[in-house]
Amino acid sequence: MTDDPFTASAEAETEIESVRRDRRNLPALRARAEILFAAGQHDAAVTLLRTADTLAPEDVLTLRTLSGFLAAMGQVAEATSLAHRAVALAPEAAEPRLHLASLHLAQRQYAEAIAQLLAYVSHGHATAAGWHMLAVAMAASAQPSKAIEAIRHAVEIEPANADYRLHLASLLTSRARYGDALTELGIAATLFPADARIPRAASGNHEALGDLSAAYHEAARARALAPGDAEIARHFTHLAKQVGLPTPSVDHALAQTLAGWSLARTRKQPPARPRGLVPLIAARWRIIHALLLRDMRTRHSRAHLGYLWAIFEPISHLLTLGVMFALINQGPPPVGASLFEYYCTGLLPYLMFSHIATEVMTARTASTAVLMLPSIRATDVIFAKTLLNLLTEIVVGILVFAAFGAAGYRAFPAHLFTCAAAILLLAGLAMGIGAINMVVQNFFHSWETIFASLVRLLYFSSGIYYSPISMPDYARAFLEWNPILQGVEIFRSGFYPQYHPFWLQARYLVAWVLLSLLLGLGLEQALRKRLRHPA
């Protein structure tokens, strides 16, 4: 999709004229609006759909899409009105009615939501999501028995959904049916042994029954599964005091991984430093390796696929955006034989940078429990998160380019060393910028949101979906200052044998990497005491 507003407007007019000629072209107009909305041009997308509604006022999908856009923009009242029109046009259609019910729920109009949901489930083909929504509405309108009945239907349809089973247990607990709640939680614990929410809920029920021993046991299990969860930690501390036991301040899972290290030392008695450079490096590596394994076990512990989700998530991102832009842009790729492959050679390095920078930025807040251990430093957590995300993105790249090879496209870079150097430089840059952000966020808590917005801007200025060679000289001269663009283009120059852009400045990227690492790690060391007690 072009960024030129005049060209975009002309394309929209073309789509509108095609609908005027033949209303069967309406899906193309909706697709154009969805692309505009995804690109952040919300007003243009809404205007286009309003035009489509004028041309085909009986089209349910147009009304549903427009209602969804307006709801996302905060215009809930108009979105609800349009959703009512969609339901009136297609009363048997399930999805528009569910959408309307969700809008009523968002406005706390529970009676209206229940009316729509009862009409929905009466058709006999209700989904688990519909029953769950009905349970939420019933509970909010002080009808707990009917809410329990509704959520049981959701559990019957999707017995392997942890959220539905936890909701059922919660509703039973609210009715003081602790035995029934514990029965449901026992089933859930068998199905989802790594979900910390389940033993936490069971602990609350045991405490309500006066069985503090069982409550403490379940709280300890929840804490082991989610050592960084503040609410679980508070509950565990509360129960430890109730049963008269000391409150451990050690992450037991990590303590087991770090076998051989003394965890009983205090700050006044710091652990003895290994003598010699090689033993010191080996000692730090043991800690980093233990943190890496711990992060793999806990980061996606609530997902059914566990850490495999960390690999599937960027692949799905690549497939979704790559296919979308490849379908929109039918021209030849700037380099190579496949436009999709060209996009992926930009997306992979960029996503690696984004993921590492974000993970490092939140390293201290996400690892509060392990940083209580005297042997572990914040720099260990930073290196562990950088290494884990780097290895994950390498696995993703291998899988993606292996798929390209199976499809008959280029699967192996022409210059492996150049590609590897680009990846390592971008990883170093991400670690340095992430460390700087970690310090800044400690003093300005809204910085994480600001940085996320900056990353989204970099998404469109890092050469992912275009080649700077096709841009005017003044624009290219400006974009050359972006170090991420330099890293992406260095990666592409190593992947494609004939691609050697004249604007590449490897020394400029190296300077960025060194300066960001020096500043980020230096600030962390200099302000370490203040970072433990944020202002």
- As a three-state string, the secondary structure of 136-151 is HHHHHCCCHHHHHHHH
- Per-residue model confidence as pLDDT tens digits over 10-60: 566 666 666 666 667 678 777 878 887 888 888 888 888 888 788 788 888
Residue in the block written with tokens 């009986």: 58
- Per-residue model confidence as pLDDT tens digits over 407-464: 777 778 888 899 999 999 999 999 999 999 998 988 887 888 888 888 888 887 888 8
- For residue 484, what are the contacts with CB-CB under 8 A and spacing of at least 6? 349, 350, 353, 426, 429, 458, 462
How many residues are present in the chain? Answer: 535
- For residue 28, what are the contacts with CB-CB under 8 A and spacing of at least 6? 15, 18, 19
Confidence of residue 2 (pLDDT cuts 50, 70, 90): very low
C-alpha–C-alpha distance, residues 472 and 514, integer Å: 31
Helix axes 178-191, 162-174, angle to 10 degrees: 170
C-alpha–C-alpha distance, residues 245 and 231, integer Å: 19
pTM to 2 decimals?
Answer: 0.49
> What's the gap between Cα 505 and its chain centre?
32
What is the percent of the chain with per-residue pLDDT over 90, rounded to a whole number?
A: 11
Q: Please answer whether residues 94 and 120 qualify as being in contact, where contact means their C-beta atoms are separated by less than 8 angstroms.
A: yes
C-alpha closest to that of 520 among 350, 361, 299, 317: 361
C-alpha–C-alpha distance, residues 162 and 188, integer Å: 7
In three-state secondary structure terms, 21 is helix
Torsion of CA 396, 399, 401, 404, to 10 degrees: -140
Q: Where do runs of H (alpha helix) occur along 226-303?
A: 230-243, 252-257, 277-298
pLDDT value for 150: 86
Q: What's the alpha-carbon Rg for the chain, to the nearest Å?
A: 27
pLDDT value for 509: 92
Q: What is the DSSP letter of 409?
A: S
- Per-residue model confidence as pLDDT tens digits over 493-509: 889 888 888 778 889 99
- Per-residue model confidence as pLDDT tens digits over 155-213: 888 888 888 888 889 888 888 888 888 888 888 888 888 888 999 999 989 888 888 87
C-alpha–C-alpha distance, residues 209 and 494, integer Å: 65
Is 219 a residue whose pLDDT tops 50? yes
Q: Please answer whether residues 295 and 384 qualify as being in contact, where contact means their C-beta atoms are separated by less than 8 angstroms.
A: yes
- For residue 108, what are the contacts with CB-CB under 8 A and spacing of at least 6? 140
Single-letter code of the amino acid located at 167: H
Check the CA dihedral 220-222-225-230 and report its sign. negative
Secondary element (H or E) of residue 77: helix 76-89
pLDDT value for 420: 93
pLDDT value for 427: 94
Average pLDDT over residues 85-92: 84
pLDDT value for 405: 82
Average pLDDT over residues 290-305: 66
- Residue 341 tokens, joined: 């492959």
Average pLDDT, rounded, for the chain: 79
pLDDT value for 243: 63
Check the CA dihedral 422-424-426-428 and report its sign. negative
Domains and CATH numbers, the chain: 1-90 (1.25.40.10), 105-158 (no CATH), 160-244 (1.25.40.10), 312-532 (no CATH)
